[in-house]
Amino acid sequence: MSTIGAYFRLARVGWVLVREGVVAALPSEGLPPLVGFAKAAVAPLARSRAKSVDRADRLANAVARLGPSYVKIGQFLATRPDVVGAEFAEDLSGLQDRMAFFPTEASRATIRESLGRTIEDLYARFDEPIAAASIAQVHPAEVDTPEGRRKVAVKVIRPGVRKRFAADLEAMYLVSHLQERFIPNSRRLRPVEVTKTLEQTTKVEMDLRLEAAALSEIAENTKGDPGFRVPTVDWERTGRDVVTMEWIDGIKMSDVDGLLAAGHDLNALADTLIQSFLRHTLRDGFFHADMHPGNLFVDPTGMIVAVDMGIAGRLGKKERRFLAEILYGFITRDYMRVAEVHFEAGYVPSHHNVASFAQAIRAIGEPIHGQPAETISMGKLLTLLFEVTEIFDMETRPELVMLQKTMVVVEGVSRILNPRFNMWKAADPVVSQWIRDNLGPKRIATDLKDGAKAALRLAEALPEIAAKTEKLHGEIVRMSEEGLRFDAATAERIGRAEARHTRLGRVALWVIAVAAVVIAVQAS
């Protein structure tokens, strides 16, 4: 029955997108004839007021009608321009994660249930919310410490958000499966895997203990870094549904006039931001993946403070090496090396020609060096890169796309501070230092150390591997002699599952037909 519910929810989503004019605003170029005909047929059903606003506003209105889950889904898809296209990703990135407040009493009840203590026992003062998003809202509060009373920020999960998101996610899975089935060209983008990534990242974001852990980890990683920090976590007042952290008194990085009035050096802040992000990515393999201006503050000492670590990204050592070599190749115009790294990493299928791919990379990289700093756009670069990777059958790498999108956002914030900001020039010291430390003689010593550890783990596991191999050999011999057989119960279960699937499919089609008629009657 959950499949039928997903069809109902999908029908509602489609109707809202039609009524808000989003479908009519879709580009017609490249659409299959049947899809183009359907788009033209439903375009007149859009509200008259929707036709007078631009596409980004239409998307914002549609998402507002669909509810908090779709704000989060839209923001996630904004990080995947390879899936939704660069233009729609830009529209989605403008979605404001500002929702209506839920009652303070609900927050108090959630905190009591999560921490097992009363509000009065936990906080000396607990105020009304000051910000609300799709997943949680934030309350200012105060706690008593041996050093005196201290102001804190208390983030509380939105009631019922997990159940609502799980239901809406079923519709997303349905869309991704239909996309893989009926649009073969989209399979390299792995839409089902994209939906799984959305599910995983949102589950992490909905467990506030994990956000607290991310803040704690990045605090340890950056404790010696110049010009960057994150809020400290109050673990005594943190649980699955609530996180308490240091209150940040600072100026948002989007408030240029405020930063100037406070005497901050905007050019230095822009360089510090991008260099901090690259240190976290290359050195630590762990980075803040939601560094929009609303999550970045400058405190009175001039330190950049990043808040809201609900979305974070990770890169393994191998991926970091490839990333550094790719960035360094673009900086030094060594396009053949950039191409070789893509093949060594397995990003591009081996049947393609390395020199041809290097030629395509050159077409992307040369404009970077041939333009003034203020005209170089990472967004345009990524658009070109996605077009090239499609030509060369490069499959989507979710961790790299999240990294690329975050890099675009960080570059955008830096340009707010310094309109002539050159990301490549600012990145050069960090990338070059990492290259020297990790791709030179030090790399050999590190690889030998890692290889010795791996060999030791393998030696410890050899007895278990041998036992499993012997068992597997026996099973293969038995199957070769007797064949692969199902018992009667297994065969019966398979038959029942197939019959049920067929029935559900037929019922779902009738449900969609009835829902379409009802919606049409209501609209008329």
Residues with catalytic annotation? 290
Dmax over CA atoms of the chain, in Å, equals: 83
Q: Give the C-alpha distances (Å, rounded to integers) separating 508 from 16, 254, 294, 331, 512.
A: 20, 48, 43, 54, 6
- SS3 label, residue 145: strand
Rg (CA), the chain: 26
CB 248 within 8 A of CB 299: yes
Query: Distance of alpha carbon 394 from its chain centroid, rounded?
Result: 19
CB 342 within 8 A of CB 348: yes
Quote the crossing angle between the two packed helices 317-332 and 398-417, to the nearest 10°.
50
DSSP 8-state code for residue 352: S
User: CA 190, 196, 202, 207 torsion: positive or negative?
Assistant: negative
The 3 state secondary structure assigned to 7-39 is HHHHHHHHHHHHHCCCCCCCCCCCCCHHHHHHH
Q: Where are the alpha helices (DSSP H) in 45-103?
A: 55-66, 68-78, 81-84, 86-93
- Retrieve residue 19's tokens: 């009524």
Query: Distance of alpha carbon 376 from its chain centroid, rounded?
Result: 24
CB 90 within 8 A of CB 379: yes
CB 227 within 8 A of CB 276: yes
Residue with tokens 């959630």: 110
CB 306 within 8 A of CB 291: yes
Question: Distance between CA 20 and CA 12 in Å, rounded?
Answer: 12
- The continuous run of DSSP H or E covering 200 comes out as helix 191-205
Question: Distance between CA 76 and CA 70 in Å, rounded?
Answer: 9
